[in-house]
């Protein structure tokens, strides 16, 4: 009985030491991954990296992590227009089945999904100099974008010095976010796009999936496969 008791005590001690070593290792790995991601994506601040699953050390031994969560507070994405960029806020991505190289210099996730927000002032800044082409050869200019309630975007289009408020729907096609106005009253309520922003180079090659208008901005969903986190 005494020998069994000693063995049980040793098992508990070793198990505790393994847990401590595992948590120390995962904390160090998260810090290294965050620094690497900040460098490769040229981020203004260090992102949050959370390696899920236990134990971490056995995942490392297998060369693949089950689940890695990445949070980027603000990300500057190219818009593909006149060298402009647009700030994307609170980008949170969940990476599944992350394989990494033997020297840990690169990592690729089999699948990724996430969410983020584009503030209305950022959308407006990206299209501030772009004309809105209207019927009969007329042109207008978007001077305001905000939340219009009920999943709609409120846009102000100035035509011949007259501000015209309209409600619109936000959509995404490929890498482009569009605000499609329900209609301008002085032009027979004809529907048209009043805002169109192409978003390039999201982290790791993730792609736009869905968008919806919300109070603080346009909420976007992203997804991707074979997403490269570093390297």
Per the CB < 8 A criterion, the answer to whether 143 and 151 are in contact is: no
pLDDT 10s digits, 48-84:
989 887 788 888 777 788 899 999 999 998 886 667 7
pLDDT 10s digits, 16-39:
555 667 677 788 888 888 888 888
Residue 4 pLDDT exceeds 80: no
Percent of the chain with pLDDT over 70: 80
Residue 185 pLDDT exceeds 80: no
Range from 137-141, 147-151, 191-195 that averages highest in pLDDT: 147-151
Q: How far is CA 223 from CA 78, 94, 213, 220, in A?
A: 18, 9, 19, 10
pLDDT-derived band of residue 11, with 50, 70 and 90 as boundaries?
very low
């Amino acid at each position: 009985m005494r020998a069994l008791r000693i063995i049980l005590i040793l098992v508990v001690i070793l198990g505790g030491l393994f847990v401590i070593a595992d948590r120390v290792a995962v904390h160090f790995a998260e810090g290294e991954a965050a620094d690497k991601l900040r460098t490769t994506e040229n981020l203004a601040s260090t992102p949050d990296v959370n390696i899920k699953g236990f134990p971490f050390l056995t995942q490392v031994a297998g060369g693949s992590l089950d689940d890695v969560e990445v949070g980027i507070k603000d990300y500057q994405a190219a818009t593909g227009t006149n060298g402009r960029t647009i700030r994307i806020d609170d980008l949170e991505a969940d990476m599944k089945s992350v394989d990494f190289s033997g020297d840990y210099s690169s990592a690729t996730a089999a699948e990724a999904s996430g969410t983020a927000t584009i503030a209305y002032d950022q959308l407006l800044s990206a299209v501030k100099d772009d004309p809105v082409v209207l019927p009969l050869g007329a042109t207008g200019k978007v001077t305001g974008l905000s939340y219009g309630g009920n999943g709609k975007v409120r846009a102000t289009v100035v035509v011949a010095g007259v501000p015209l408020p309209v409600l619109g729907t936000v959509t995404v096609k490929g890498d482009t976010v569009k605000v499609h106005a329900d209609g301008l009253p002085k032009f027979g309520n004809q529907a048209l796009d009043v805002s169109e922003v192409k978003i390039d180079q999201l982290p790791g090659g993730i792609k736009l999936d869905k968008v919806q208008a919300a109070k603080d901005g346009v909420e976007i969903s992203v997804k991707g496969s074979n997403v490269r986190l570093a390297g």
